[in-house]
Amino acid sequence: MIPSGGFRVYVTKDYLVFSSAHFITFAGHRCESLHGHNYRVGVALEGAIDAESWYVLDFSVLKRLARKLCDEIDHKVLLPLTNPKLTVEVQSGTVAVAYQGIPRYVFPLDDCALLDIPNTTVEMLARYLTHRMLAQLPPAVHATAIEVEVEENFGQSAAYREEIGVQPDPAANEPTETH
């Protein structure tokens, strides 16, 4: 008999890290200087256990996926592609970045990770990694939620959690009438 209730597996290892450069744009007219962090990543997966294996997902599979994603952005300049204050243009093997129309940086393309996010905050990096992880989970996994935590410095982290296979209730967003 399969135990009822929810199960959660979590991995974080010394090799689930990436060292990358970034900068953040802030409200108003402020853009911080280029700098870097040694980021650490943790991944939690919730769901039902498999009746044959008795686990949510083999730790080795979860670690391998997380490491692959960390390696993709390790030693790269992280550039957000959907930031309205930035223009990111790829041309002749380089990436030119302008902030509010003013040229700011030019990097070799091979040194950049062009990310479909609005800013390179740890919140957005956690969301980005969560979505990448979801896209690569084996189809047989009976997961109900995933959470990725990204730490940019000891004691400073953000996590993004997403329910899997749960459709939002459209009625929950409709205004209710009061008399």
Instruction: Give domain limits for the chain.
Output: 7-75+121-165
Say what the alpha-carbon torsion angle 110, 16, 115, 173 is, to the nearest 10 degrees.
170
75 is catalytic: yes
Catalytic residue among 46, 147, 151, 152, which?
152
Given this structure, which CATH class describes domain 7-75+121-165? alpha beta
Beta strands in 1-153 (DSSP E): 7-11, 17-22, 25-26, 30-31, 35-47, 77-80, 86-91, 94-99, 102-108, 112-115, 143-153
Dig out the tokens for 158 from the structure. 């953000």
Residue in 32, 75, 89, 163 annotated catalytic: 75
- Rounded to 5 degrees, what are φ and ψ at 64? -65, -45
Q: What is the pLDDT of residues 20-75, one digit of tens each?
A: 999 999 888 888 999 999 999 999 999 888 778 888 889 999 999 999 999 999 99
Instruction: Answer yes or no: pTM beyond 0.85.
Output: yes
Partners of 47 in the β-ladder: 7, 143
Distance of CA 66 to the CA centre of its chain: 10
Task: Quick: pLDDT tens for 66-99.
Answer: 999 999 999 999 999 999 999 999 999 999 999 9
Locate tokens 């300049």: which residue?
A: 77
Distances (CA, A) of 150 to 16, 36, 85: 10, 14, 24
